[in-house]
Structure 1
Amino acid sequence: MDSTNLVVFTSHDLRACTNNFNEKNLISLTQFGRLYRGQIQKPRLTGIQTQYVSVKIWDPKLDCIASKYDDEYFMIKEEVKFFTNPRMNGNPNLVKLIACCWEREIQGLVYDLNPLDTLHNLIVKDELNWLQRMNVIHELARLLEFLHCQENQPLVLNISASHILLDTDYMPKLFDSFQPSEMKMQKELMPMSTGYLDPYFSLRGSEWDRSCEVFSFGVILLELITKRISILNIEKRENNPNSVLDGLLHIWAKKEYKPSCCLVHSSLQENWDYYAEDGVAVTELAMQCIEFFPVNRPSMNQILQCLENLLVCNRLADKRPAKRGKKFLL
């Protein structure tokens, strides 16, 4: 693997910083492994300094992509290539990669982030207010719009609430995705969470494109405003295979939606910075994002403009430091 400025960890290093992958340090399961909290002890002249990090470990048994390419390190190579790209490095909504390990026994990445939790877990725990939810979706839109504007646009697959971390300022950081640089992603190779997978892509078997990412974004927006999670109930699915579609959030939303209606959870509507017109607008935006035909979905630029026209975004602008308005050089 090409050398970068990353620190190369051994499996012993990863075990040491996670206390031997102690379950108490487990943040979340990911689609291809586990995410842990970790600590790195750094000697300094004034003593030992502790750096709090996040550690992602791959489970080789779940790595369907690498097995198709006869390269057990395929996934980790692609993530390292993406996160160390100079155009990506420094984006406030991407994790900062600081170390990696690609031993046969363990493959893992170390991020410079001490997170609150994954977005999925925080939605389940109901620990986000309306302003925080709108900040998360606005920042995610900024990230995707930034990526879509790149000259050599990287595909960002597997976008889901489980693959987004929130820092202590409730800023979202995308950490677990798949960015194939030299291959065309087709249906049989897609490492996607079912609840976020574009049904048009899934049924037609076409190539992955930007509209698929817009669909996944729309599902996350629905999760944030409805307090519902787009993950299938495995036990229910096994007992009643016909109930699979009922577990998909975008199917539920299309059943519930009526023109000019609001799908925002009633408890969120009680927040003091909630505006009724915003509720209708974000509901309509979410429904546009999950349209079955990709041609009917908005671009990320259009999505970002819609979000920035919300009244709640005035509150976000008041709270956001001036440096957040900085433009990234392409």
Structure 2
Amino acid sequence: MIRACFPRHSGVAYRGSLERAEMTAKQKLPAQPSADQCRSGQRSFAQYLSPMLFAIFTTPEQCEMAEVEIPVYSYAELKKITNGFGAENFMGKTFSSNSLLYRGEIVDKESNLVQKVIVEMRKNEKDYDLKVWQTQLNALKDPTISSHPNVVKLQGYCNSACDLGLVYDCHALGTLHSLIFDESFSWSMRMKVALQLARVLQFLHSQEKPLILLNFEPRSILVDMDFNPLIFGFGLASGGVLGILDHTVLSLIFLSHPQVYLDPEYTLCASQIYLPSKVFTEMGLLLF
């Protein structure tokens, strides 16, 4: 079986059909050599076809090696992107992961093009801070999770001694929490958001090893300019490619932030997660 594979960008893995592979390869091909060029030895059809053959017959394992590295930012760079973490760019605070959200802009030095981003910052103070941040980073770097259109795309990250940051490629209206009481957020818009959130939960739960979000909250959901929800709160995710969340970490977070809602069955049953109850608590409370 022929498999087509494309390099990843922004955490998205492109594995499409043969037709898509051919289309991508043709865009990179030079002009087809003439018969005279081939006879003279200037160009061969083998040279002409090699880019197409590479795109079509490259294995997924080889594509893994060609993965684009995610940029690493310093704290000073994130401070510049957010205009000094200014109040005008502050979007709110997430309850469960205790992080702060800021709007930011990345300006390309050569083209002067401006990229809108969201920067999530947290202090590296308590024992669980780094674990929660690392879990979220691992989730957003995973090609399967990040391939979903309702999962925010990771632009970069910051891992300094005192501050931990994640940068998202997103031009957002705000968090879902900030829009809930906005009168301009119409019923049809709300239903669009709810339907897409249900689909992304179905996607995460339908994996061979289901991934459960234990901090599925309006403050951890961005809404873009077209009213598409983008979830980013994977810090307390459990299962799937991330493995089972340490119950001790979750208990410490719950004690530090009692306003966070946790499924009572999970709390009482020592880390036993039941999908039916999680669907109810995730979507039910959010819709309520």
Same fold (TM over 0.5): yes
Equivalent residue number for residue 214 of structure 2: 157
Equivalent residue number for residue 194 of structure 2: 137
Equivalent residue number for residue 147 of structure 1: 204
Tell me, yes or no, if the aligned pair for 2:123 and 2:162 is still in contact at 8 Å: no
Q: Which amino acid aligns with 1:95?
A: V
Distance in 1 between residues matched to 2:260 and 2:122, nearest whole Å: 21
Equivalent residue number for residue 142 of structure 2: 85
Tell me, yes or no, if the aligned pair for 1:118 and 1:166 is still in contact at 8 Å: yes
TM-superposed deviation, 1:98? 1.1
Q: Which amino acid aligns with 1:150?
A: Q
- State the structure with more CA Rg: 2
TM-superposed deviation, 1:49? 0.9
TM-superposed deviation, 1:143? 0.1
Tell me, yes or no, if the aligned pair for 2:100 and 2:120 is still in contact at 8 Å: yes
Q: Alignment identity in percent?
A: 30
Tell me, yes or no, if the aligned pair for 1:33 and 1:57 is still in contact at 8 Å: yes
State the Cα deviation string for residues 175-221 of structure 1 (Å, max 9, x = none): 12322423345377254674642233334545234234311210111
Q: Which runs of 5+ in 1 are unaligned?
A: 223-330
Higher strand share: 2
Equivalent residue number for residue 250 of structure 2: 189
More displaced stretch, 99-108 vs 200-209: 200-209
Distance in 1 between residues matched to 2:155 and 2:271, nearest whole Å: 35
Equivalent residue number for residue 10 of structure 1: 74
Change (3 A) 1:211 1:4: farther
Change (3 A) 1:134 1:97: same
Distance in 2 between residues matched to 1:206 and 1:89, nearest whole Å: 25
Do residues 220 (structure 1) and 286 (structure 2) align? yes
Tell me, yes or no, if the aligned pair for 1:155 and 1:209 is still in contact at 8 Å: no
Report the RMSD for the aligned CA atoms in angstroms: 2.2
Q: Which amino acid aligns with 1:199?
A: P
71, 87, 90: which one aligns with 1:23:
87
SS at 2:144 equivalent: coil
SS at 2:143 equivalent: coil
94, 98, 102: which one aligns with 1:36:
102
TM-score, with structure 1 as normaliser: 0.59
SS at 1:92 equivalent: coil
SS at 2:243 equivalent: coil
109, 112, 123: which one aligns with 1:48:
112
Distance in 2 between residues matched to 1:152 and 1:202, nearest whole Å: 21
SS at 1:108 equivalent: strand
Q: How does 1:1-330 map to 2 (within 5 A)?
A: 5-31=69-95, 32-44=98-110, 47-61=111-125, 63=126, 67=127, 73-178=130-235, 179-180=237-238, 181-186=242-247, 189-190=250-251, 191=253, 194=259, 196-214=261-279, 215-222=281-288
Distance in 2 between residues matched to 1:94 and 1:196, nearest whole Å: 22
State the Cα deviation string for residues 78-131 of structure 1 (Å, max 9, x = none): 112111111122311000001000011311000000100111110123331111
Change (3 A) 1:201 1:74: closer
